[in-house]
Copies of this chain bind each other. A is one copy, B any other.
Amino acid sequence: MDLDRASPRPPADRRPTRERLLDAAEELFAERGFAGTSIRAVTQTVGVSVSAANYHFGSKEDLLHATLRRRAEPVNQSRIAQLERAEAEAGPAGPELEAIVDAYLRPAFSYEVVPPEPRRQLLARLFSDPPEIVAALRRDLLGEVTQRFVDALERVLPGRPRAEIALGLEFAVGVMVHLVGQQHSLVPDASDGTPFFSSAEIADRMIAFAASGLRASVAHAAD
């Protein structure tokens, strides 16, 4: 029973402090944003001292960046994987617009790629925390993937200016961020508290909304 004596703590506590700090920070930053979250709140959640966080991450801003990076990377990988799969399955004309939009939007909404609330809300902070804190990182995390998707969309919207396509994708990002951020007023609940829509149904409808909207906004006032 040496093993038991050496690991008396529950599994969650045996993970490296650095990762436990990232987990706690992710949850708090997701719920309260950068300014609304203190390093102390993070370290008290984990049960370590403030200086432990500063040792591992250097500053509060770097801690936020680390949480955002950790979460954005699997989302982007899933986006690319979905897009490549759609391209492999499609003929030489390339995948349908709906499939491209699906590949971009669904990963941020999938519990297989992103943890449940409240941590899922974290990526919305990339768009609501102050620009000095998140703008450069946002470009770094989203720029390349997004250009890849604009490329794909150009093939199904031949002749349309790239800027119009990018604007349409920006609209789609807006819908996604709003839903991921979970500050809804309108999505109704049934009177007994059961939601009217499952998460998967919301995602399906969101994708239908964005795909149709993208087509229409790009066709808008077409010359």
User: Copies of this chain, how many?
Assistant: 2
A213 on the B face (CB < 8 A):
yes
Query: Within residues 165 to 223 of chain A, which ones have a CB less than 8 A from any CB in chain B?
Result: 166-171, 173-179, 181, 183-188, 196-197, 202, 204-206, 208-217, 219-221
Tell me the nearest residue of chain B to A177, going by C-beta.
Answer: B178
Q: In the assembled complex, how far is the CB of residue A102 from the closest CB belonging to chain B, in whole angstroms? A: 13
Q: Is the CB of B205 within 8 A of A209?
A: no
**A163 beta carbon closer than 8 Å to chain B:** yes
Residues from chain B with a CB closer than 8 A to the CB of A197 are 163, 167
Grouping DSSP codes into helix (H, G, I), strand (E, B) and loop, the A interface class, with mixed when no group exceeds half, is: helix
The residue in chain B whose Cβ has the minimal distance to the Cβ of A197 is: B167
- Which of A14-22, A32-40, A69-77 participates in binding chain B? A32-40
A92 within 8 A of B: no
Q: How far is the CB of A9 from chain B (nearest CB, A)?
A: 32
Interface centre among A162, A171, A215 (most CB of B within 10 A): A171
Q: Which of B33, B131, B171 contacts A128 (CB 8 A)?
A: B33
Interface residues on A, range: 35 or more
Residues of A within 8 A of B (CB): 31-36, 124, 126-131, 134-135, 138-139, 142-143, 146, 150, 162-164, 166-171, 173-179, 181, 183-188, 196-197, 202, 204-206, 208-217, 219-221
Q: Provide 13 A-B residue pairs closer than 8 Å at the C-beta atoms, listed in order of the A residue.
A: A31-B130, A33-B33, A163-B188, A163-B197, A170-B185, A171-B178, A171-B205, A177-B178, A206-B217, A208-B213, A209-B214, A211-B216, A212-B212
Known contacts A32-B130, A33-B130, then 11 further A-B pairs from the complex at CB < 8 Å, ordered by chain A residue: A35-B36, A135-B183, A138-B185, A167-B197, A167-B205, A168-B209, A170-B178, A171-B209, A209-B214, A212-B213, A212-B217
